Amino acid sequence: MKFKASKIAEVLQGTIEGNPEQEVSGLSKIDEGIKGTLTFLSKPEYEHYSYTTLADVIIVDNDFHPKKKITATLIRVPNAREAFAKLLTFYDAAKQHKSGIEQPSHISDSAQIGENAYVGAFAYVGDNVTIGANVKIYPHVYIDNNVSIGDNCTFYSGVKIYTDTIIGNNCMIHSNTVLGSDGFGFVPDDNMVYTKIPQIGNVILEDDVEIGACATIDRAMLGSTIIKKGVKLDNQLQIGHNAVVGSNTVIASQTGIAGSTKIGERCVIGGQVGFAGHLNFGNDMRVQAQSGVSKNFKDGTAIQGSFAFEYADWFKSYALFKNLPRLNNRIKELEKTIKELNNG
Protein backbone atom coordinates (compact mmCIF):
# COMPACT_ATOMS: atom_id res chain seq x y z
CA MET A 1 0.00 0.00 0.00
CA LYS A 2 1.15 3.48 -0.82
CA PHE A 3 0.05 6.72 0.85
CA LYS A 4 0.73 10.28 -0.22
CA ALA A 5 2.07 12.83 2.26
CA SER A 6 -1.09 14.88 1.71
CA LYS A 7 -3.29 11.96 2.82
CA ILE A 8 -1.13 11.33 5.89
CA ALA A 9 -1.28 15.02 6.83
CA GLU A 10 -5.05 14.88 6.46
CA VAL A 11 -5.29 11.89 8.82
CA LEU A 12 -3.03 13.59 11.38
CA GLN A 13 -4.45 17.08 10.85
CA GLY A 14 -0.90 18.27 10.26
CA THR A 15 0.83 20.84 8.05
CA ILE A 16 3.07 19.84 5.12
CA GLU A 17 6.46 21.32 4.35
CA GLY A 18 7.78 19.89 1.12
CA ASN A 19 6.21 17.69 -1.54
CA PRO A 20 2.57 16.83 -0.76
CA GLU A 21 2.64 14.19 -3.57
CA GLN A 22 5.50 12.27 -1.95
CA GLU A 23 4.47 8.62 -1.59
CA VAL A 24 5.50 6.18 1.13
CA SER A 25 4.72 2.48 1.48
CA GLY A 26 6.16 1.68 4.90
CA LEU A 27 7.29 2.95 8.29
CA SER A 28 10.77 3.09 9.79
CA LYS A 29 12.78 4.34 12.75
CA ILE A 30 14.52 7.63 11.98
CA ASP A 31 17.99 6.14 12.52
CA GLU A 32 17.18 3.26 10.15
CA GLY A 33 15.12 5.13 7.57
CA ILE A 34 15.07 3.88 4.00
CA LYS A 35 13.58 5.21 0.76
CA GLY A 36 9.84 4.95 0.51
CA THR A 37 9.17 5.07 4.25
CA LEU A 38 7.80 7.49 6.81
CA THR A 39 9.38 8.16 10.21
CA PHE A 40 9.07 10.60 13.11
CA LEU A 41 11.28 12.82 15.27
CA SER A 42 10.31 13.45 18.89
CA LYS A 43 13.57 13.49 20.90
CA PRO A 44 16.18 16.25 20.48
CA GLU A 45 19.03 13.73 20.70
CA TYR A 46 17.80 12.14 17.47
CA GLU A 47 17.67 15.42 15.54
CA HIS A 48 20.92 14.74 13.68
CA TYR A 49 19.28 11.72 12.02
CA SER A 50 16.70 14.00 10.41
CA TYR A 51 19.47 15.44 8.20
CA THR A 52 20.80 12.04 7.08
CA THR A 53 17.83 9.66 7.10
CA LEU A 54 16.73 8.23 3.77
CA ALA A 55 13.07 8.23 4.83
CA ASP A 56 10.97 10.38 2.50
CA VAL A 57 8.53 11.80 5.06
CA ILE A 58 9.20 12.83 8.68
CA ILE A 59 6.59 13.74 11.28
CA VAL A 60 7.91 16.51 13.54
CA ASP A 61 6.63 18.75 16.32
CA ASN A 62 5.29 22.17 15.38
CA ASP A 63 8.13 23.87 17.25
CA PHE A 64 10.91 21.93 15.49
CA HIS A 65 13.40 24.31 13.81
CA PRO A 66 15.99 22.46 11.72
CA LYS A 67 19.56 23.73 11.83
CA LYS A 68 20.41 22.22 8.43
CA LYS A 69 18.62 21.49 5.19
CA ILE A 70 16.27 18.49 5.30
CA THR A 71 15.51 16.77 2.02
CA ALA A 72 12.52 14.80 3.35
CA THR A 73 8.97 16.16 3.35
CA LEU A 74 7.95 17.28 6.85
CA ILE A 75 4.52 16.95 8.44
CA ARG A 76 4.20 19.25 11.43
CA VAL A 77 1.88 18.25 14.30
CA PRO A 78 1.49 19.28 17.96
CA ASN A 79 3.06 16.01 19.19
CA ALA A 80 5.07 13.85 16.79
CA ARG A 81 5.12 10.72 18.98
CA GLU A 82 1.35 10.77 19.53
CA ALA A 83 0.77 11.43 15.83
CA PHE A 84 2.99 8.50 14.86
CA ALA A 85 1.08 6.22 17.24
CA LYS A 86 -2.17 7.37 15.64
CA LEU A 87 -0.71 6.68 12.22
CA LEU A 88 0.37 3.18 13.27
CA THR A 89 -3.23 2.47 14.21
CA PHE A 90 -4.45 3.78 10.86
CA TYR A 91 -1.78 1.83 8.96
CA ASP A 92 -2.52 -1.39 10.85
CA ALA A 93 -6.25 -1.06 10.15
CA ALA A 94 -5.62 -0.45 6.45
CA LYS A 95 -3.16 -3.35 6.22
CA GLN A 96 -5.52 -5.79 7.92
CA HIS A 97 -8.72 -4.66 6.25
CA LYS A 98 -10.84 -7.71 5.59
CA SER A 99 -14.53 -8.22 4.96
CA GLY A 100 -16.95 -10.93 3.96
CA ILE A 101 -17.46 -14.51 5.05
CA GLU A 102 -14.96 -17.12 3.92
CA GLN A 103 -15.79 -20.77 3.36
CA PRO A 104 -15.76 -23.26 4.85
CA SER A 105 -17.10 -21.70 8.04
CA HIS A 106 -20.13 -22.37 10.21
CA ILE A 107 -22.53 -19.61 11.21
CA SER A 108 -25.73 -20.61 12.98
CA ASP A 109 -28.98 -19.51 11.39
CA SER A 110 -29.90 -17.83 14.69
CA ALA A 111 -26.67 -15.77 14.85
CA GLN A 112 -26.77 -12.05 14.04
CA ILE A 113 -23.74 -10.42 12.43
CA GLY A 114 -23.37 -6.66 11.93
CA GLU A 115 -22.23 -4.69 8.90
CA ASN A 116 -18.71 -4.92 7.45
CA ALA A 117 -17.87 -8.03 9.46
CA TYR A 118 -15.20 -10.51 8.47
CA VAL A 119 -15.46 -14.22 9.29
CA GLY A 120 -12.45 -16.30 8.30
CA ALA A 121 -12.35 -19.87 7.05
CA PHE A 122 -13.02 -22.65 9.57
CA ALA A 123 -14.52 -20.23 12.09
CA TYR A 124 -17.50 -21.41 14.14
CA VAL A 125 -20.32 -19.10 15.28
CA GLY A 126 -22.91 -20.77 17.50
CA ASP A 127 -26.59 -20.33 18.23
CA ASN A 128 -28.03 -16.99 19.35
CA VAL A 129 -24.70 -15.18 18.97
CA THR A 130 -24.85 -11.43 18.33
CA ILE A 131 -21.89 -9.73 16.67
CA GLY A 132 -21.63 -5.99 16.09
CA ALA A 133 -20.39 -3.95 13.16
CA ASN A 134 -16.81 -4.00 11.83
CA VAL A 135 -15.86 -7.14 13.77
CA LYS A 136 -13.01 -9.30 12.45
CA ILE A 137 -13.09 -13.01 13.24
CA TYR A 138 -9.97 -14.70 11.89
CA PRO A 139 -9.77 -18.36 10.81
CA HIS A 140 -10.26 -21.11 13.40
CA VAL A 141 -12.00 -18.88 15.94
CA TYR A 142 -14.66 -20.67 18.00
CA ILE A 143 -17.63 -18.68 19.37
CA ASP A 144 -20.04 -20.74 21.46
CA ASN A 145 -23.77 -20.22 21.94
CA ASN A 146 -25.32 -17.06 23.43
CA VAL A 147 -22.18 -14.95 23.11
CA SER A 148 -22.61 -11.18 22.67
CA ILE A 149 -19.91 -9.10 20.92
CA GLY A 150 -19.94 -5.33 20.39
CA ASP A 151 -18.61 -3.22 17.52
CA ASN A 152 -15.05 -2.92 16.17
CA CYS A 153 -13.66 -6.03 17.85
CA THR A 154 -10.89 -8.30 16.52
CA PHE A 155 -10.38 -11.98 17.32
CA TYR A 156 -7.21 -13.53 15.96
CA SER A 157 -6.83 -17.12 14.86
CA GLY A 158 -7.49 -19.79 17.46
CA VAL A 159 -9.43 -17.68 19.98
CA LYS A 160 -12.04 -19.70 21.89
CA ILE A 161 -15.06 -17.96 23.41
CA TYR A 162 -17.28 -20.11 25.59
CA THR A 163 -21.02 -19.80 26.04
CA ASP A 164 -22.68 -16.69 27.53
CA THR A 165 -19.53 -14.52 27.30
CA ILE A 166 -20.26 -10.80 26.87
CA ILE A 167 -17.72 -8.61 25.05
CA GLY A 168 -18.00 -4.83 24.65
CA ASN A 169 -16.82 -2.50 21.90
CA ASN A 170 -13.29 -2.02 20.57
CA CYS A 171 -11.84 -5.17 22.10
CA MET A 172 -8.89 -7.11 20.67
CA ILE A 173 -8.16 -10.72 21.58
CA HIS A 174 -4.97 -12.35 20.31
CA SER A 175 -4.40 -15.90 19.13
CA ASN A 176 -5.29 -18.93 21.23
CA THR A 177 -6.72 -17.02 24.16
CA VAL A 178 -9.66 -18.72 25.90
CA LEU A 179 -12.54 -16.76 27.40
CA GLY A 180 -15.04 -18.51 29.63
CA SER A 181 -13.37 -21.85 30.34
CA ASP A 182 -14.53 -23.55 33.54
CA GLY A 183 -13.35 -22.06 36.81
CA PHE A 184 -11.10 -24.25 38.96
CA GLY A 185 -13.86 -25.46 41.25
CA PHE A 186 -13.68 -28.83 42.99
CA VAL A 187 -14.74 -30.06 46.42
CA PRO A 188 -12.98 -32.99 48.19
CA ASP A 189 -14.72 -35.69 50.17
CA ASP A 190 -13.28 -37.37 53.29
CA ASN A 191 -10.94 -39.45 51.13
CA MET A 192 -9.68 -36.39 49.24
CA VAL A 193 -11.50 -37.43 46.09
CA TYR A 194 -12.47 -34.30 44.22
CA THR A 195 -15.90 -33.66 42.72
CA LYS A 196 -16.33 -30.94 40.14
CA ILE A 197 -18.51 -27.94 41.02
CA PRO A 198 -20.40 -26.80 37.90
CA GLN A 199 -19.36 -23.32 36.78
CA ILE A 200 -22.53 -21.74 35.44
CA GLY A 201 -21.56 -18.04 35.39
CA ASN A 202 -19.88 -16.17 32.56
CA VAL A 203 -17.10 -13.76 31.56
CA ILE A 204 -17.70 -10.07 30.82
CA LEU A 205 -15.23 -7.88 28.93
CA GLU A 206 -16.13 -4.21 28.96
CA ASP A 207 -15.13 -1.74 26.21
CA ASP A 208 -11.55 -1.14 25.02
CA VAL A 209 -10.04 -4.31 26.48
CA GLU A 210 -7.02 -5.97 24.84
CA ILE A 211 -5.81 -9.44 25.77
CA GLY A 212 -2.60 -11.03 24.49
CA ALA A 213 -2.02 -14.51 23.13
CA CYS A 214 -2.56 -17.73 25.07
CA ALA A 215 -4.30 -16.12 28.04
CA THR A 216 -7.11 -17.84 29.96
CA ILE A 217 -10.00 -16.16 31.74
CA ASP A 218 -12.29 -18.53 33.61
CA ARG A 219 -16.05 -18.21 33.81
CA ALA A 220 -17.59 -17.55 37.21
CA MET A 221 -19.12 -20.27 39.34
CA LEU A 222 -22.10 -17.92 39.81
CA GLY A 223 -22.30 -14.37 38.48
CA SER A 224 -19.45 -13.05 36.34
CA THR A 225 -15.70 -12.81 35.97
CA ILE A 226 -15.29 -9.16 34.90
CA ILE A 227 -12.52 -7.40 32.97
CA LYS A 228 -13.42 -3.72 33.13
CA LYS A 229 -13.09 -0.91 30.62
CA GLY A 230 -9.64 -0.13 29.23
CA VAL A 231 -7.80 -3.11 30.78
CA LYS A 232 -4.70 -4.34 28.92
CA LEU A 233 -3.55 -7.92 29.56
CA ASP A 234 -0.32 -9.45 28.29
CA ASN A 235 0.26 -12.94 26.92
CA GLN A 236 -0.07 -16.14 28.99
CA LEU A 237 -2.15 -14.87 31.88
CA GLN A 238 -4.53 -16.83 34.08
CA ILE A 239 -7.51 -15.11 35.70
CA GLY A 240 -9.66 -17.26 37.95
CA HIS A 241 -13.40 -17.54 38.38
CA ASN A 242 -15.30 -14.55 39.78
CA ALA A 243 -12.19 -12.35 39.67
CA VAL A 244 -12.55 -8.66 38.77
CA VAL A 245 -9.86 -6.52 37.10
CA GLY A 246 -10.51 -2.78 37.52
CA SER A 247 -10.59 -0.27 34.69
CA ASN A 248 -7.36 0.84 32.98
CA THR A 249 -5.24 -1.70 34.82
CA VAL A 250 -2.31 -3.27 32.93
CA ILE A 251 -0.92 -6.73 33.74
CA ALA A 252 2.26 -8.27 32.29
CA SER A 253 2.86 -11.83 31.16
CA GLN A 254 2.52 -15.00 33.26
CA THR A 255 0.63 -13.39 36.11
CA GLY A 256 -1.98 -15.52 37.85
CA ILE A 257 -5.03 -14.20 39.70
CA ALA A 258 -6.87 -16.70 41.88
CA GLY A 259 -10.63 -16.91 42.12
CA SER A 260 -12.77 -14.12 43.59
CA THR A 261 -9.88 -11.65 43.86
CA LYS A 262 -10.69 -8.07 42.90
CA ILE A 263 -7.95 -5.90 41.40
CA GLY A 264 -8.48 -2.14 41.60
CA GLU A 265 -8.38 0.55 38.94
CA ARG A 266 -5.24 1.90 37.22
CA CYS A 267 -2.94 -0.74 38.70
CA VAL A 268 0.36 -1.68 37.04
CA ILE A 269 1.29 -5.31 37.65
CA GLY A 270 4.56 -6.87 36.50
CA GLY A 271 5.19 -10.33 35.09
CA GLN A 272 4.90 -13.60 37.02
CA VAL A 273 2.96 -12.05 39.89
CA GLY A 274 0.74 -14.39 41.87
CA PHE A 275 -2.43 -13.25 43.64
CA ALA A 276 -4.06 -15.41 46.30
CA GLY A 277 -7.83 -15.81 46.19
CA HIS A 278 -10.54 -13.65 47.74
CA LEU A 279 -8.43 -10.45 47.96
CA ASN A 280 -9.67 -6.89 47.53
CA PHE A 281 -6.67 -5.16 45.99
CA GLY A 282 -6.64 -1.36 45.99
CA ASN A 283 -6.54 1.25 43.21
CA ASP A 284 -3.37 2.74 41.70
CA MET A 285 -1.18 -0.11 42.96
CA ARG A 286 2.28 -0.99 41.63
CA VAL A 287 3.41 -4.61 41.87
CA GLN A 288 6.94 -5.58 40.86
CA ALA A 289 7.59 -8.76 38.87
CA GLN A 290 7.53 -12.15 40.62
CA SER A 291 5.79 -10.79 43.69
CA GLY A 292 3.46 -13.02 45.67
CA VAL A 293 0.39 -11.13 46.92
CA SER A 294 -1.44 -12.79 49.80
CA LYS A 295 -3.15 -9.89 51.56
CA ASN A 296 -4.92 -6.61 50.86
CA PHE A 297 -3.08 -3.30 50.51
CA LYS A 298 -4.33 0.27 50.65
CA ASP A 299 -4.65 2.41 47.53
CA GLY A 300 -1.47 3.65 45.91
CA THR A 301 0.91 1.16 47.54
CA ALA A 302 3.95 -0.17 45.66
CA ILE A 303 4.91 -3.72 46.65
CA GLN A 304 7.57 -6.28 45.84
CA GLY A 305 8.78 -9.65 47.09
CA SER A 306 8.11 -13.36 47.26
CA PHE A 307 9.72 -16.09 49.38
CA ALA A 308 8.88 -19.77 49.46
CA PHE A 309 9.96 -22.03 52.31
CA GLU A 310 8.38 -23.98 55.18
CA TYR A 311 5.18 -22.23 56.16
CA ALA A 312 5.70 -21.84 59.92
CA ASP A 313 9.33 -20.79 59.48
CA TRP A 314 8.31 -18.22 56.89
CA PHE A 315 5.94 -16.48 59.33
CA LYS A 316 8.58 -16.48 62.07
CA SER A 317 11.10 -14.99 59.64
CA TYR A 318 8.60 -12.45 58.38
CA ALA A 319 8.05 -11.18 61.92
CA LEU A 320 11.78 -10.45 62.05
CA PHE A 321 12.64 -9.08 58.63
CA LYS A 322 9.68 -6.70 58.45
CA ASN A 323 11.20 -4.97 61.52
CA LEU A 324 14.74 -4.77 60.11
CA PRO A 325 14.56 -1.04 59.21
CA ARG A 326 13.49 -0.17 62.75
CA LEU A 327 16.14 -2.47 64.27
CA ASN A 328 18.78 -0.91 62.02
CA ASN A 329 17.87 2.55 63.34
CA ARG A 330 18.16 1.29 66.92
CA ILE A 331 21.61 -0.16 66.20
CA LYS A 332 22.77 3.16 64.76
CA GLU A 333 21.50 4.95 67.88
CA LEU A 334 23.32 2.45 70.13
CA GLU A 335 26.54 2.85 68.13
CA LYS A 336 26.28 6.60 68.49
CA THR A 337 25.71 6.33 72.23
CA ILE A 338 28.66 3.94 72.67
CA LYS A 339 30.91 6.26 70.69
CA GLU A 340 29.90 9.22 72.86
CA LEU A 341 30.55 7.21 76.06
CA ASN A 342 33.97 6.13 74.81
CA ASN A 343 34.89 9.69 73.91
CA GLY A 344 33.72 10.92 77.28
Give the Cα-Cα-Cα angle 270, 271, 274 (nearest 5 degrees).
Answer: 95
- Spot the catalytic one: 48, 106, 174, 241: 241
Q: Is 174 a catalytic residue?
A: no
Which residues pair with residue 40 across a beta bridge?
A: 59
Sheet-wide strand order for 238-239: 106-107, 124-125, 142-143, 160-161, 178-181, 216-218, 238-239, 256-257, 274-275, 292-293
Distances (CA, A) of 68 to 35, 39, 55, 56, 343: 20, 18, 16, 16, 68
Tell me which residues are annotated as active site. Answer: 241
